[in-house]
């Protein structure tokens, strides 16, 4: 009695197993028909069946000279491709349409997903259940961050999980369209529900406490003043150069932004390239900052264009510079440093911490509450139209509630009695 799936055909041993719904037969070349080889063939078949069940079986490696290998692999070289290898292929294909910073973010997201799915597994063997399990692990599982502090924390935010799902879904959608897989395991996988978080801008008194605190350095005060009174994104603040500023016309021309990878690129959209009219506090902050950094030598930087393989060479004298004596002191202040500065400054000023992006929200909310035209605000912030401004930034700030109530009451008193009319008695 031979082991399951093992046949003796004349002077050869043949192994039979099922792969991708098809029965496969392979003759073990060079194996003499002996009791020990028959047992060995049975063990080999058991290993193959186990690899198929785990999604790690590679037909080409096991049987490189098999006709079945040619039938399975020749038509599409990625059918028996591991997830890690397919990720590299996918990134190479996408590199013609994504920016360098987007490729870096996509690679990072896919590598995280590959750790949870099993990077050595064949992409064709990853199932819907695997994706659902990955979604759960992304939300509640271990963090792979290189930072020791973040690595000890479990789980990720819903927004981060949905970002990973979007990135990974695009990979499997491409695999399905190129017939590397026959079914898309992401079919029926929904994103986690999110609750829209309203803006949490600074109150006027909070901002005054921030810029007047004696322990906060002059450059930091100038930076937060410019951030709040221009609505610049932190990447735009990081890449701001004196060559972009006209203190006579009181304008800033936004034409580049800094990425987290310390590269420079033009804004994502054409509306992002804009001219900002300086409000008085921002103008005065830049005048003060000019005394600190204007006379530093300019440096040549390469700015990535929206068109692939097209870079712009510019001379830049950074407005906000690193102030330490490290090797980075010659460079512009990075977005990471800006975030760290924000955490430190809000703590010193005794202000409730909120995301540093709230400086941009503060600009929009303050201008709206001052009666500024939403279309003008949109143009200053780099939005293509005012719909974003109205939908996101239209919330009333808490400190204005009393004045609004008083205004409403004054109007009502003019048109309505303070007490109901008494009914006439007969």
| Residues with a known catalytic role | 233, 268, 360, 383, 393
Tokens representing residue 134 in the block: 């990955």
Give strand pairing partners of 15.
6, 26
* CB-CB neighbours of 349 under 10 Å: 18
3-state SS, residue 291: helix
DSSP assignment of 370-412 = TT--HHHHHHHHT-SSTHHHHHHH-PPPGGGHHHHHHHHHHHH
How far apart are alpha carbons 119 and 113 in whole angstroms? Answer: 8
Q: Which residue has the tokens 């990447």?
A: 235
Tokens representing residue 416 in the block: 């309505």
Q: Which residue has the tokens 């479990």?
A: 154
* CB-CB neighbours of 44 under 10 Å: 21
How far apart are alpha carbons 365 and 176 in whole angstroms? Answer: 45
For residue 321, what are the CA distances in angstroms to 4, 218, 228, 262, 328? 72, 12, 19, 14, 9
DSSP conformational letter for 207: H
Backbone angles phi, psi at 122, to 5 degrees: -70, 135
Backbone angles phi, psi at 393, to 5 degrees: -105, 10
H-helix or E-strand containing 25? strand 22-27
How far apart are alpha carbons 124 and 120 in whole angstroms? Answer: 12
DSSP conformational letter for 75: S
Handedness of CA 81, 84, 90, 96 (dihedral sign): negative
Rounded to 10°, the helix 204-212/335-349 angle is: 100
Among candidate residues 331, 359, 340, 353, the one with its CA nearest the CA of residue 263: 331
Q: In what order do the strands lie in the sheet with 299-304?
A: 257-258, 264-265, 299-304, 311-316
DSSP conformational letter for 308: T
How far apart are alpha carbons 46 and 3 in whole angstroms? Answer: 10
């Amino acid at each position: 009695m031979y082991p399951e799936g093992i046949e003796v055909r004349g002077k050869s041993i043949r192994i039979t197993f099922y792969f991708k719904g098809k029965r496969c037969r392979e003759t073990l070349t060079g194996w003499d028909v002996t009791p020990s080889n028959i047992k060995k063939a049975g063990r080999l078949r058991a290993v193959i069946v186990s690899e198929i069940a785990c999604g790690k079986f590679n037909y080409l490696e096991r049987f490189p000279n098999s006709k079945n290998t040619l039938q399975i692999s020749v038509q599409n070289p990625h059918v028996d491709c591991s997830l890690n290898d397919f990720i590299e292929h996918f990134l190479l294909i996408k590199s013609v349409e994504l920016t360098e910073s987007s490729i870096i973010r996509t690679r990072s997201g896919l590598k995280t997903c590959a750790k949870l799915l099993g990077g050595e597994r064949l992409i064709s063997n990853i199932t819907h259940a695997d994706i659902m399990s990955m979604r759960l692990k992304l939300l509640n599982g271990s963090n792979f961050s290189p930072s020791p502090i973040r690595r000890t924390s479990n789980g990720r935010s819903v927004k981060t999980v949905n970002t990973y799902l979007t990135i990974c879904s695009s990979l499997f959608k491409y695999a399905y369209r190129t017939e590397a897989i026959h079914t898309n395991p992401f079919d029926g996988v929904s994103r986690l529900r999110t609750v829209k978080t309203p803006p949490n801008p600074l109150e006027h008194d909070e901002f005054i406490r921030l810029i007047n605190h004696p322990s906060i350095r002059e450059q930091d005060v100038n930076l937060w003043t410019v951030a709040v009174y221009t609505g610049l994104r932190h990447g735009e603040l990081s890449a701001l150069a004196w060559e972009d500023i006209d203190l006579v016309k009181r304008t800033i021309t936004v034409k580049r932004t800094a990425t987290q990878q310390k590269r420079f690129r033009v804004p994502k959209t054409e509306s992002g390239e804009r001219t900002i009219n300086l409000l008085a506090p921002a103008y005065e902050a830049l005048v003060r900052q000019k005394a600190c950094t204007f006379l530093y030598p300019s440096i040549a930087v390469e700015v990535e264009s929206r068109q692939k393989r097209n870079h712009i060479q510019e001379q830049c004298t950074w407005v906000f510079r690193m102030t330490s004596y490290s090797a980075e002191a010659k460079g512009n202040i990075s977005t990471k440093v800006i975030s760290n500065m924000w955490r430190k400054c809000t703590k010193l000023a005794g202000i409730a911490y909120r995301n540093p992006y709230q400086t941009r929200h503060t600009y929009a909310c303050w201008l709206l509450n001052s009666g500024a035209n939403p279309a003008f605000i949109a143009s200053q912030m780099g939005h293509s139209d005012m719909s974003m401004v109205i939908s996101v930034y239209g919330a009333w700030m808490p400190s204005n509630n009393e004045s609004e109530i008083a205004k409403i009451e004054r109007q009502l008193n003019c048109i309505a009695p303070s007490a109901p009319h008494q009914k006439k008695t007969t």
